[in-house]
Chains A and B, each alone.
Chain A
Amino acid sequence: MFDTQSSSTARRRPLGRLALSLTVSAAVAAAPLAFAPAAFAAEDGDGGNYLRIATSADIDTLNPFTAVLGSSTGILTLAYERLVEWGAADNAPVPGAASEWKTSDDGLTWDFTFPEGRKWSDGEPLTANDAEWTLNAIQTDPDLQQASGGLVANMKSIEATSDTNLRIVLKEPQPQNPGNSMMVLPEHIWKDIKDPAEYRNAEDSVGSGPFTIAKWDEGQSVELKANPNFWRGAPKIDGIRFVYYKNADAQVQALKSGEVDIVSGLLPAQYESLKGVEGITVNAGAGRRYTSVAINPGAKDATGAPLGDGNPALQDPTLRRAIFMAIDNKTLLEKVLQGLGTLGQTEVPPVYPNYFGIDEDKVIPFDIDGANALLDEAGYVMGPDGIRLDKQGAPLNLRLMGRSSNPQHAQISEYMVSWLKEIGIGLNVAMYSDNQVNDDSTLGKYDLYFTGWGIGPDPDFQLSINRCSSYPNADGSGNLSENNWCDPKFDALFDKQHGELDPAKRADYVKQAFATIYDASVNNVIWYADSLEAYRSDRFTGFVTQPADGGVISGQNGYWGYYSTTPVADTSQLADAGAPTGLYIGIGAAVVVLGGLAVFLIARRRAATSDDRA
């Protein structure tokens, strides 16, 4: 049968054979692909020392006027000096493009000094005129306000009185230095750009930070190179490559295989898995974000009319307090976050020690019995099914809303359901998409929900969104209210801190204001999660953290972490963290030999059968 009944011809290659030979060729071809396991470790095109940072978030644009995504602004922080920087040690204002600053007694006039010798990366002098041009451009062109519009809103006039002095006159005094977070762009480059709002700033840009943008390979990577003219001195590495990874697990693998040098935003489990891996060092830095459960205290719109569908019983502060007394933040921190964070107090995380914390006697304790007593006393009688009744006699069944994108919300919910049951409150948990949660929380459509904010070094903005004037319009547009709550006592404290220019006095008012929110039991901060990161300590070292003690390398309010790093003496020869190369060569050789044999056999078989084909 094999060689007598054939009618196929060698010219017509049937599909099956084609597939077989394709498969074989693919196997043969793939063999060498699998080699060079260590090759991607240190193989830089130009042979330089590049710090490769895995970045998970997308980049919208590298235009400082319009970039809003965190990953973009993080890169821009490295490329453009701000007027005033946030210091590495404690987030206090330190010199940036301006070397010093003075405030008038009324707090309205700010003078910034631009010392001689500040240079752009192309060697041109960086002067007060650059700052004047940048700030005026933002203030006069709505298209350029996307990123920093909020920072110039309070500025009445912006003027370079000389090359070395920039004068900003404010409409009303503000405690935050107006130069903080305010990037300065080179006028001699940007004034010639026809449509600055559309400009993507993706290649060979001129900047003033420790690095400049060299190349943006969209969807894949951004390359920065060291700026030799940086006024604090050129970085000790040749540059930085931000490499996109669209999922965190891939980042972890890339760090292990040596394709990237630093990863951040790790989940506790990923962090644990990287502990003790050779050549890798982990860092749990104090985070800037709080995670909390907020209670709807009776949301209102800007006209004072009720907003949303929050359970009216929650307008009673005693009930809210009892609920928070039944939540054991310590257990949550240990069980859900594996202890990788700090126990929550007010909305300010401990990385800002001046504003952090609350008096010990004001802390709401975890106390189930106390909570029950409080509710009994307030007249919430226990119903027959173990659920208390509100003042109208309706059972206290509340809704808890979380984000399906955050698995921790579901984990915390499980604990909360059982704790609240112990004080006679029913909880219906539902997880929604991020946008749905954002919409519903803005419109007051919740009883309880999980929330959290990343807090900047200056607390003014965070406090401002708790004023009575911050209630939104009925359709959710207009202002933004963090907690859908309002208290004239708080507003008075806000005004006090806002007008106070003495840092110590202001800090005291700020703490009192945050304590007022805490005391109102509208937002129970569970924890401030640590920022979990890991880096290849066999390649780079010397990272300066912010704050200095227990701080972070990635995601700083500044450029200190990446700017400070130094290559380990012998970075070009990275130890191969994987299996011995010999093993791969062995496997590869076997595949090649087998593949060759298969091709040979197929060819033989065809030759043999084609003789007597009709």
Chain B
Amino acid sequence: MTVALQPGEAIQGAPEEETSRGASWPRYLALKGGGAAVSLVMVVVVGFFAFRVLPGDPAISMTRGRQVSADQVEILRKQFGLDQPLIVQFWNYLVGLLHGDLGTSYTYNRPVVDLIGTYIGPTLLLTGTAALVSIVLGLSLGQRAAWRRGTAFDRTQTSVALIFWSVPTFWLGLLLLLVFGGWLHWFPTGGMSTPGLGATGLAYVWDVVRHLVLPVTAMVAVVYAQYLLVMRASLLEEMSADYLTTARAKGLREDDVRRKHAVPNALLPTITLIFLTIGGLIGGAVTVETVFSWPGLGYLTFQALTSPDLPLLQGTFVVFSSIVIITNLAADLVYRVIDPRLKAS
């Protein structure tokens, strides 16, 4: 509950602050952009040092259980650059980063940038689809629930959403897999496409869509509640507003009072929530990707933790964090564009 309401609450104060300040566009941009840049720098620094605290020597972990001499472990350590002082490693990391080089993965022995490039596509496809479906579903159910507050529809929708929300994604995913994959055989049990099918064009798209259904369902079921609840809450706040009485007095149909007058105003906090959660959704794909063997970035991160594959961990951390920071910045900007009160000031 708190998670869903926090962003909404945070926004409540925001418009007033900005209005009173009456910041001009360039100043606003500089302010928000600067904040984002500072966050990015922090991420870069934290990303390096945080993972050094992890237990496990990567060179020893990677050779564990194999026939290797101490000399070979040393060679490996040298290849990884682990024999250098931490500050030198940090400097190399910074210099690399400025050149768009996130280092070379220990495990996969290839540039982290390449690896992320390979795996980010499926993650964006999965989380993008899930985000879209849950936003549409959450918002439409949320406004209907608010409009008919206290009715059976409201109570059912809210409780169903909350029940799904409290279900662990992992468990729900496995359940879907068991029922629709293993038992009914309606959908594939894993992966993004059928290996060896050799499908191209539309047939390939069809194959991918079939593979998308279960993971998207699992993700949507767990996250759509927050959109529903915030939409419902912010619409409820609007519902006693005078302009709705005016609208009704004009003789407008109830449905249109809701759609054309109340919802646009109530949508503001929700839009910020959408941007805020998109970053989290991508990070949260780890579980779903693991259950449904989705070849995405989340699972790559999980793998990297086991070594620990430091360059890969740093790389995925920087990417995930950047997505969150950028979507937050986008939320700030979009908010200002769509809120006419801010524009006027």
Contact = CB atoms under 8 A, between A and B. Distances in A.
Given A150-B67, A220-B192, A145 B75 contact: yes
A243 B75 contact: no
A40 B206 CA distance: 13
A37 B185 contact: yes
A220 B140 contact: no
B77 to A, nearest CB: 8
Contacts of B174: 247, 249-250
A104 interface: no
Interface stretch (A42-50, A158-166, A228-236, A303-311): A42-50
Contacts of A68: 62-63, 66
A320 interface: no
A256 B137 CA distance: 33
B76 interface: yes
Contacts of B65: 453-454
B190 A250 contact: yes
Contacts of B77: 477
Interface in B169-185: 174, 177-178, 181-185
Contacts of A146: 76, 109
Interface in B238-257: 251-256
A189 interface: no
Contact of A250 (B199, B292, B300): B292
Contacts of A198: 109-110
Contacts of A524: none
B108 interface: yes
A434 B176 CA distance: 30
Contacts of B299: 219, 246
Interface stretch (B2-10, B36-44, B49-57, B276-284): B49-57
A225 B183 CA distance: 31
Contact of B196 (A7, A45, A153): A45
A435 B186 contact: no
A253 B79 contact: no
Given A219-B122, A246-B293, A43 B194 contact: yes
Chain B: number of interface residues, binned into ranges:
35 or more
Interface stretch (A15-23, A290-298, A493-501): A15-23
Contact of A254 (B73, B108, B181, B306): B181
A442 interface: yes
A456 B65 CA distance: 10
A433 B74 CA distance: 24
Contact of B259 (A15, A219, A256): A15
B68 A15 contact: no
B152 interface: no
Contacts of A200: 110
Contacts of A480: 60, 70
Contacts of B343: none
Interface stretch (A58-66, A117-125, A205-213): A58-66
B177 A253 contact: yes
B224 to A, nearest CB: 11
A442 B199 CA distance: 50
Of the candidates A7, A69, A478, A480, the one having the most CB atoms from chain B within 10 angstroms of its own CB is A7
Given A15-B139, A61-B108, A438-B64, A477 B290 contact: no
Contact of A256 (B141, B182, B187, B296): B182
Interface string A125-159: 00000000000000000110110011101000000
A26 B193 CA distance: 20
Nearest to B206: A33
Given A60-B109, A250-B291, A33 B188 contact: no
Chain A: number of interface residues, binned into ranges:
35 or more
Of the candidates A61, A200, A243, the one having the most CB atoms from chain B within 10 angstroms of its own CB is A243
A161 B1 CA distance: 76
Contacts of B198: 45-46
B181 A14 contact: no
A435 B195 contact: no
B151 interface: no
Interface in A1-22: 1, 5-8, 14-16, 18-20, 22
A479 B136 CA distance: 59
Contacts of B69: 149-150, 153
Contacts of A43: 194, 197
A272 interface: no
A348 to B, nearest CB: 16
A456 B67 contact: yes
A29 to B, nearest CB: 8
Contact of A247 (B60, B133, B293, B296): B293
A217 interface: yes
A16 to B, nearest CB: 5
Interface in A22-76: 22-23, 26, 30, 33-34, 37-38, 40, 43-46, 50, 52, 58, 60-61, 63, 66, 68-69
A22 B139 CA distance: 13
Nearest to A433: B55
B99 to A, nearest CB: 18
B107 interface: yes
A172 interface: no
B256 A8 contact: yes
Going nearest first, the 9 A-B pairs with the smallest beta carbon separation are: A45-B198, A219-B295, A435-B56, A253-B182, A19-B140, A37-B185, A221-B195, A5-B253, A578-B185
24 contacts: A5-B251, A5-B256, A7-B252, A7-B256, A8-B259, A15-B136, A15-B139, A15-B263, A38-B185, A40-B194, A45-B199, A58-B303, A146-B109, A198-B109, A218-B118, A219-B119, A221-B191, A244-B190, A246-B290, A249-B177, A249-B178, A477-B77, A480-B60, A576-B185
